[in-house]
Amino acid sequence: MRTQWTVLKKLTLLLVPVFILLLISYFSLLKLHGKQKNLQEGKTQVLGVKSQTENQWWSGHLIIPKINVNAAVQTVGINSNGEMESPSNSVDVGWYMYGPRPGQTGSAVIAGHLDEKNGEPGVFAKLDKLQKGDKLYIDDGQGTTTAFTVRESHTFDAGYAEEVFNSSDSAHLNLVTCAGFWDNTKQSYHKRLVVFSDIVN
């Protein structure tokens, strides 16, 4: 009986460290999986953090002859509310960096201000004047100009609109600005105007 107890005691002493090592390995794998998941979902979870690689930064010019727009393009991400950021001023526009660049397959999204805080018109003050068939252009600053044709316009409630960011097997450029009335409580307009355009092949 004593011999059996001694063997059992030695076996227990041997298995305890093994069990601890297994537990450490298990929790390490869980932590790694969590990091990988966060990286995969970083496009919506990482707010205002430069997690992208350098070649994801892009700039150019948006040209819309009909409404006299020739605006520099900033690169914007996601704000602390989980929404697409706005450009830092009212004369530039902002390209959503977690989507395709204009001309690439999918829906590139560019936002611009409707007006300034003092009431002066912003870069997209006349965006509602665009109609089906109107042309807009992206100049990438490296000698390439990509043309798009307006397909349609829609007004959405403020917030996320899936149609704006949808991908497809073709290239689209969607322009976004504020619309509707000013909500003093939320310090924002209550609608968003989106102009949908398609690449000219």
Per-residue pLDDT, averaged over 17-30, amounts to: 50
Taking all residues of the chain, what is their mean pLDDT, rounded to a whole number?
A: 77
- Cβ distance 60 to 73 under 8 Å? yes
> Residue 67 — very low, low, confident or very high, per pLDDT cuts 50/70/90?
very high
pLDDT in tens, 106-136: 999 999 999 888 889 999 999 999 999 999 9
Tell which residue, 60, 53, 26, 25, has the closest CA to residue 137: 60
User: Which tokens belong to 141?
Assistant: 């600053």
Distance of alpha carbon 50 from alpha carbon 140, whole angstroms: 22
> In the chain, at which residue ranges do the beta strands (DSSP E only) sit?
61-64, 69-76, 93-96, 106-111, 135-139, 145-157, 171-183, 188-199
- Interval 27-43: pLDDT, tens: 444 443 443 333 233 33
Kindly report, residue by residue over 149-181, the tens digit of the pLDDT. Answer: 999 999 988 766 677 888 778 999 999 998 888
Residue 165 is predicted with a pLDDT of: 83
Cβ–Cβ < 8 Å for 174, 109: yes
